[in-house]
Amino acid sequence: MTGDIPSGIAYVGSRTSQQRDGLGVGLTVYRTGLPGTPWTQIQVVSCDNPSYLIFNIERSVLYCAHGDTTDLSAFAVDPNTGELTLLNRIQSEGENPVHLTLSPDGRHLIVAGHNSGTISSHSLQDDGAIGPTVGIARMSGQPGPHRQYQNSSKPHQVEFDPSGLFAVVPDKGLDCLFVVTIAADGGLALDESLTVRLPEMAGPRHVRFHPTLPYLYSIDEFRSTVTAYRFDRDSSRIIPLQVRSAAPDTLIDDSRGAEIAVHPNGRTLYVSNRGGAGDHTPGGDHPDTIGVFQIDTSTGRLHSPKWVETAGIRPRFFCLDGSSQIIVAHERSHTIASHHIDEATGHPAAPRLLARTGSPVAVLLNP
């Protein structure tokens, strides 16, 4: 199968289970138009809890993690319409797969098993279907003090550094960043000597590397903080540099950090905060926000924070559409919105509604 997906296609995964108060129907395919204009639904694929989505290198296959199960799916992407056809669905070694990534060579699918404390790798077949497990690494350590959400290891992501030499695994159950490497055959190795321990109940959730400089950033879920690090590509050693609140100081209620991204120009960092209980009214006393930080490219430190209200409830996921806009999925207000990014400042404008859909938690855009 060859060919790129057509321009103007977006894929949305949603919560469907009663356990998650899900109102979604599965995977929805949309045709998109000009930035900030509403999307048009063109396909619905019924499936349970499609909670994270990625493409293969050729963007001819879409891979899906089904949250709260052990299942992974592969879908062929029609090169003319962007519509999806199931290739296969398998059970992974990890429970509650929450994040997927490709190995640097594109030959293996790497899965973070949130409830099993595991990272596993699967071989990919010639047609893009998901093959058997070929590598597994288990996180271990002392759980953090949160009585409900830190009862064991909770890896939430696998993120390779830009060179592809190693990957960082933020573990919100153990308050650690782990460093793993992958062999040519998909075998995974965990180097415990490189583990970074964060303050208790930080709950590191996701990380992003700077696109060109040796800096790394994490969004820390339980404290709604963002941490800056320097890393050494030769030794893979990660050194914490700075911790800042990801939420504005006017938010005196609980807050949960959710997502993080670095602008392609490397000058601005974005995070999302699920303020209060996450079920408030948009525009109320404790609105959910996108935090915007400027990056000092000489030190990696963050400065000049600003915040923009998302006008939606619980921005669990967002992504950058190139350098021009932020696409935000609001899990509890059942909306997807875009924020235009000012080219000079990197600051996002007020949101524009793109689509209404039940419990969206993942968005995958065409290039």
Give bridge partners of residue 188 from the DSSP assignment. Answer: 182
Taking the domains of the chain in order of start, what are their residue ranges? 9-365
Q: Are strands 176-182 and 108-113 parallel, antiparallel or unpaired?
A: unpaired
Cβ density class 77-107: b for 16+ within 10 Å, e for less: bbeeebebeebebeebbbebbbbbbbbeeeb
The arithmetic mean of pLDDT across residues 295-317, rounded, is 96
**How confident is the model over 180-211, as pLDDT tens digits?**
999 999 999 999 999 999 999 999 999 999 99
Per the CB < 8 A criterion, the answer to whether 160 and 104 are in contact is yes
Q: Give me the pLDDT at residue 3, please.
A: 47
Contacts 24+ apart (CB under 8 A), 91-95: 92/120, 92/122, 92/133, 93/118, 93/120, 93/133, 93/136, 94/70, 94/118, 94/119, 94/120, 95/70
d(CA 20, CA 3): 36
Q: Give me the pLDDT at residue 277, please.
A: 46
CATH 3.30.70.600 assigned to domain 9-365? The reply is no
Q: Are strands 335-340 and 352-356 parallel, antiparallel or unpaired?
A: antiparallel
Number of H helices, E strands in the chain: 0, 29
Q: Give me the pLDDT at residue 2, please.
A: 40
**How confident is the model over 42-78, as pLDDT tens digits?**
999 999 999 999 999 999 999 999 999 999 999 999 9
Of the candidates 100, 143, 107, 139, which has an alpha carbon nearest to the alpha carbon of residue 125? 107
Per the CB < 8 A criterion, the answer to whether 220 and 202 are in contact is yes
**How confident is the model over 15-48, as pLDDT tens digits?**
999 999 999 999 999 999 999 999 999 999 999 9
- What are residue 158's phi and psi, to 5 degrees? -130, 120
Q: Give me the pLDDT at residue 253, please.
A: 83
The arithmetic mean of pLDDT across residues 130-151, rounded, is 95
Q: Are strands 188-190 and 167-171 parallel, antiparallel or unpaired?
A: unpaired
Of the CA atoms within 13 Å of residue 97, those in its CB half-sphere come to: 29
pTM for the whole structure: 0.95
Quick one: pLDDT band at residue 366, thresholds 50, 70, 90?
confident
Of the CA atoms within 13 Å of residue 59, those in its CB half-sphere come to: 16
**How confident is the model over 266-290, as pLDDT tens digits?**
999 999 999 754 455 555 556 899 9
Higher per-residue confidence, 250 vs 145: 145
Helix or strand holding residue 133 (H, E): strand 130-138
What percentage of the chain carries pLDDT values higher than 90?
90
Mean pLDDT of the chain: 94
